[in-house]
Amino acid sequence: MEFMELLWAYLVVFVLAAVPFFEGYGVIALAIIAGLPAVPSILIALLGNILTVLLLILFVNKIKEWRRKRKGEDEEKNPSKRALRAQNLWKKYGLPGLAFIGPLFVGSHLTAFMSISFGGTKKKTSIWMVASIVVWGLVFAVLSLFGVDILGYEDRGFFEDLIENN
């Protein structure tokens, strides 16, 4: 794979990992299965996911105000099923529990937002969310690497085939 093709592939990994609900761990698995080198893919995907979560935490007050203006006060009176589930996780396990369990169900961005909304400080939420993103990213990377080896997938991933065929 040429330098520009690899650069383009890593840019796609970064952007997808930064997008809410794609999640870094999903993009890591996709990049590994696509045949991209594992270590740079892991680092770039984690960076993309962590960067946007930290930006969300930094600007959470402005985001809350924007949502309040857009949705009105009704949302606080009638919370969604997701919000109720997250609140139950918060009550039962606290910030660490929500930070580690939440991303699997609602994504890391929404989990960070809810953690702040339920009373977590920006500093503690940042620490726990970064830890969670890194742990889940590494878990999915290991599973993807072993899964690729178990399946006996060819050395070239589908991304390289896609580039060569176009």
pLDDT in tens, 133-159: 999 999 999 998 888 656 555 555 656
- Does 37 score more than 60 pLDDT? yes
Per domain, the residue ranges of the chain are: 3-165
**Mean pLDDT along residues 105-116:** 92
What span, in angstroms and rounded, lies between the C-alpha atoms of 102 and 119? 16
Burial of 119 (0-12, 13-18, 19+ CB in 10 A): exposed
| Per-residue pLDDT tens over the stretch 45-96 | 999 999 999 999 999 988 888 878 887 755 556 777 877 887 888 889 999 9
Q: pTM of whole model > 0.75?
A: yes
